Amino acid sequence: METKRRTLGVLLFPGFEVLDVYGPLEMVGNLKGMIDIVMVAEHAGAVTSSQGPQTLAGEGFATCPRLDLLLVPGGIGTRKEVANEALLRWLRSAAASAEIVTSVCTGAGLLAKAGLLDGRRATTNKFAFSWVVEQGPKVEWIKEARWVDDGDRVTSSGVSAGMDMMLALVERLYGADLATTVAQRAEYEWHRDAAWDPFARLCGLVD
């Protein structure tokens, strides 16, 4: 099993989706000595989620260290942030030196708007699929997928899908045994099939 220590940066912005952030973090938060977590926002301080509770960003864009892994959540706030040039510039800069860039839900819209998914396969929340697709016309959007692994870009479907994506990433980086243990200790039923996606049909994206 690989033991490389990595830093995971989580992007926060007003109106982020709580589970998009904390679902994946539950799956890596106890991997002490393997993954260090940094919460990042445009400016350090409290950031209000779509649901109301705030999360403290310890780093602003100007002070954020180099990240090995980057997690971009979705949430209603993405509709505003796609026009935030400071955020898009930071995404491009952070992604340039990151090993893997990931997104949950409409977070893929931010990556797409920043040009970070151009020519890549990606997916997103099926209930907001058309809006996200508009942000990245050069992206190969996959309508039916729980998550899509395109090497150093890994995107997931809506909200809870981020947990399955992150467990798959733990498996890829640190081995299947550890990923299975993490899921079991969370008493979480891990959907291991990246193509499992009943919501694509529910939303009329596939027959």
Domain ranges of the chain: 6-202
Q: Which residues contact 172 (CB under 8 A, 6 or more apart)?
A: 149
**DSSP code, position 39:** E
pLDDT tens, per residue, the chain with 207 residues: 567 899 999 999 999 999 999 999 999 999 989 999 999 999 999 999 999 999 999 999 999 999 999 999 999 999 999 999 999 999 999 999 999 999 999 999 999 999 999 999 999 999 999 999 999 999 999 999 999 999 999 999 999 999 999 999 999 999 999 999 999 999 999 999 999 999 999 999 999
Residue type, 2: E
Please name the residue ranges forming H helices in the chain.
18-28, 78-81, 85-97, 107-113, 129-135, 161-174, 176-185, 198-202
Question: Which tokens in the block code for residue 2?
Answer: 């690989």
CA distance 15 to 79: 9
Check: pTM over 0.85? Answer yes or no.
Answer: yes
Residues catalogued as catalytic:
105
| DSSP helix/strand/coil, 72 | strand
CB contact at 8 A, 147 and 157: yes
| DSSP helix/strand/coil, 118 | coil
Tell which CATH architecture fits domain 6-202.
3-Layer(aba) Sandwich (3.40)
| H or E segment and range at residue 9 | strand 6-11
Q: What is the pLDDT of residue 2?
A: 63
- Burial class from Cβ neighbours inside 10 Å (0-12, 13-18, 19+) for residue 180 reads middle
Residue whose pair of structure tokens reads 């799956």 in the numeric block: 27
* Cα torsion through 128, 169, 163, 206, rounded to 10: 40
Closest residue by Cα to residue 123 from 150, 100, 148, 101: 148
